Amino acid sequence: MGKRDGKRDGEAQAGGPGEGRGEGDGGGRGAGRGITRRRALWIGGGGAVAAGAVALAAGGEPARWWWRLPGNEKPREAGAVDFRGAQWVAASPANYRRADRPADYEIDRVVIHVVQGSYATALDVFRDPDHEAAAHYVIRKDGHVAQLIRELDVAFHAGNRGYNERSVGIEHEGYVDRPESFTDAMYASSARLTAGVCRRYGFPADREHLVGHSEVPGTDHTDPGRHWDWDRYLELVRAELRKPVRKPPREHPAGRA
């Protein structure tokens, strides 16, 4: 997990219990500190269109603003999950930013985290608006998966704004210095989840695109640590990718925590 990065529009790093938040100039609770670019786009329909025109005139990328105009956000279904069998446990809205990925930000990374605590602790802090950080998923030692943030949205987990915008963050119950944290069931479940992300967004399962939190530029974290078996993990993810693709009906959570 991680700490805030102090971005004006609410970016923050995923932060674990016991890992203090860093200094910032805005952060996830900076709504009262001025009008952000996103808020400005919503002040009046004509103003939003004008803002988009200005962005184009200035050489801005349409993919970065079109979805923010009224009526352009993708339909959302309450409680729907992106990973078959996941349990929906909603993170606080203070811990992520609504987006329309991959229409506005390309997804080409998975970031592997370790909670430095229990599954229950991770869910508690990610539902806490004062924490100002969360990952998309949390995986328990027995392989159970909770989804807290839709993959459409930008989770504050990596400690680097660009990585947050381009990645899916997966937390794993346990501790970096305890090899017994990483069970067979956890590896298998995480590999299925990551393989699904790779398929959905069309990037390979290699060490350029599957990275640890410690490898994110600018981070001061050590997870997943030396006991995380990257060779084993890559082999498991690739084995999942070799399996025939099934297209099940849209999944809904088995329950809520």
Read off the pLDDT of each residue in 95-107 and give the average, rounded to a whole number: 96
Rounded CA-CA distance 159/98 in Å is: 17
49 compared with 230, residue with greater pLDDT? 230
Measured distance CA(177)–CA(115) in Å, rounded? 12
Least confident of 24-28, 68-72, 79-83, 244-248: 24-28
Q: Look at residue 196 and tell me whether its pLDDT is greater than 70.
A: yes
Q: Grade residue 33 by pLDDT with cuts at 50, 70 and 90.
A: very low
Average pLDDT over residues 46-72: 48
Tell me the pairing of strands 137-139 and 145-147.
Answer: antiparallel
Q: Does position 52 have pLDDT exceeding 50, yes or no?
A: no
Write down the pLDDT at residue 45.
Answer: 36
User: What pLDDT is attached to residue 14?
Assistant: 54
Of the candidate ranges 3-17, 90-104, 203-217, the one whose mean pLDDT is the lowest = 3-17
Tokens 């088995």 correspond to: 254
Write down the pLDDT at residue 188.
98
User: Quick one: pLDDT at residue 191?
Assistant: 98
Banded model confidence at residue 111, pLDDT cuts 50, 70, 90: very high
Element (H, E) at 37: helix 37-41
Residue with tokens 């993170």: 91
So what's the pLDDT on residue 229?
98
Q: What's the mean pLDDT when you consider all of the chain?
A: 79
Instruction: Pick the closest to residue 66 from 55, 57, 75, 77 (CA basis).
Output: 55
Average pLDDT over residues 98-112: 96
Mean pLDDT, rounded, for 74-92 = 93
Q: What are phi and psi of 148, to 5 degrees?
A: -110, -25
Which is more confident, 18 or 78? 78
pLDDT digits (tens, 9 = 90+) for 68-77: 565 567 778 8
Residue 51 has pLDDT above 60, yes or no: no
- The pTM of this model reads 0.76
